[in-house]
Amino acid sequence: MSALELRTLGSTGLRVTPVCLGCGVLGGMSAIFGYDVSADQGVATVRRALDSPVNFLDTSAGYSDGESERRVGAAIRAQGGLPDGFVLATKVDPDPVTRDYSGAQVLRSAEQSIERLGMDSFPLLYLHDPEVIGFEAAMAPGGAVEALVRLKKEGVAEHLGVAGGPVDMLERFVGTGVFEVVLTHNRYTLVDQSARGLLRTAHQAGVAVVNAAPFGGGMLAKGPDVSRKYAYREADAALMERVRRMAERCATYDVPLGAAALQFSVREPLIASTVVGISAPERVDQTVRWATWPIPDELWAELGELAGVSADPTDPTGPTDQHDPHRRGR
């Protein structure tokens, strides 16, 4: 199987590349990522993505109050439409001002996404960050999930997913039988495999897993001497030292740390596709190079020891708790 050969996205039947290009930063989220992206650069980046070997793009109504979707929509129009077989996923979000996440808000969010993206329907529509209101409120009669199901029945969404942070909550949503895809972020990387249980639960339920942020917000792409944050928070000394040692081992084999971090997720059999954020046309090209970079088994063995997992992605051995930075302060 080649590095970017299409995979079936669980029970959806959608065929996607094992790498998905994420548009979270394209609308300009400098408060989170530390830099801005102009409208022209955002549109040019999406156009490069549409011309790339990757056929899977991820955005959201909540990214920069819809600006990411506006730029994606502008790029699609400039290209004359989506390429055949291209899968565009977006997400419904709470109201950016009131934080309302009712069923009515879900319907409004989807309607606004249709307008911004210029699409009649979505191959995949996620419920985004349900931790804002909690599982019970999301599942309540007349709530967000019921509205999402309505959108599917009406043909606005072909398939439904749930995307969020806390893995225990995501497991509960997987157990409802409503969702065909679950997206987790920052919790299956070279330094944190706390989503391992979610991966297994989803697999048993026939739900596809999409793994976002394999670089932990940048450190696992740029190295700890350039990016000192992991999952958008200051990293502690122990985590930074682990990443530094990983970078040193990668350099010994002439492998970019980012390539190893990306492929650590891509080669995991329980993950259907991995979302990599893009902010410039050259980042699209770099992502494709990293996804296809030759990495020897000897390096995987060494990285496996540093990651606290087996070098064999089919090994059921789970991570050790001390390697889960999300446990701190939560």
pLDDT at 27 over 70: yes
* Token pair of 234 as six digits: 């200051």
pLDDT at 315 over 80: no
322 falls in which pLDDT band (50, 70, 90)?
A: very low
Looking at residues 86-106, what average pLDDT do you find? 97
The answer to whether 35 and 41 have CB atoms below 8 angstroms apart is no
* Token pair of 208 as six digits: 């596809």
pLDDT of residue 310: 58
pLDDT of residue 317: 45
pLDDT tens profile 41-70: 999 999 999 999 999 999 999 999 999 999
Quote the CA–CA distance of 212 and 304 in Å, as a whole number. 20
pLDDT at 316 over 70: no
Sign of the four-CA dihedral 192, 96, 122, 288: negative
pLDDT tens profile 232-247: 899 999 999 999 999 9
pLDDT of residue 122: 98
Quote the CA–CA distance of 140 and 123 in Å, as a whole number. 25
Shortest CA distance to 276 belongs to which of 143, 176, 185, 160? 185
Kind of pairing, strands 273-277 and 160-164?
Answer: unpaired
Report helix, strand or coil for 47. helix
Kind of pairing, strands 229-230 and 233-234?
Answer: antiparallel
> Among the listed ranges 120-124, 232-236, 266-270, which one has the minimum average pLDDT value?
232-236
pLDDT at 269 over 90: yes
Q: What is the DSSP letter of 186?
A: S
pLDDT at 73 over 90: yes
* Token pair of 38 as six digits: 């102009």
> Among the listed ranges 2-6, 253-257, 313-317, 324-328, which one has the minimum average pLDDT value?
324-328
Shortest CA distance to 216 belongs to which of 33, 42, 61? 33
Q: Locate all alpha helices (DSSP H) within 28-143, ordered by sequence.
A: 30-33, 39-50, 67-79, 103-117, 135-139
pLDDT at 124 over 50: yes
Highest mean pLDDT among 229-238, 283-292, 318-327: 283-292
pLDDT of residue 249: 98
Looking at residues 271-281, what average pLDDT do you find? 97
The answer to whether 124 and 87 have CB atoms below 8 angstroms apart is yes
| Predicted model pTM | 0.93
pLDDT tens profile 187-213: 999 999 999 999 999 999 999 999 999
pLDDT of residue 3: 77
325 falls in which pLDDT band (50, 70, 90)?
A: very low
pLDDT of residue 191: 97
What rounded mean pLDDT belongs to the chain? 92
- Per the listing, tokens 């993206």 go with 117
80 falls in which pLDDT band (50, 70, 90)?
A: very high
pLDDT of residue 309: 76
- Residue length, the chain? 330
pLDDT tens profile 8-25: 999 999 999 999 999 999
Shortest CA distance to 257 belongs to which of 303, 298, 288? 303
The answer to whether 271 and 17 have CB atoms below 8 angstroms apart is no
Q: Locate all alpha helices (DSSP H) within 80-192, ordered by sequence.
A: 103-117, 135-139, 144-153, 167-174
323 falls in which pLDDT band (50, 70, 90)?
A: very low
Looking at residues 103-127, what average pLDDT do you find? 98
Looking at residues 247-266, what average pLDDT do you find? 98
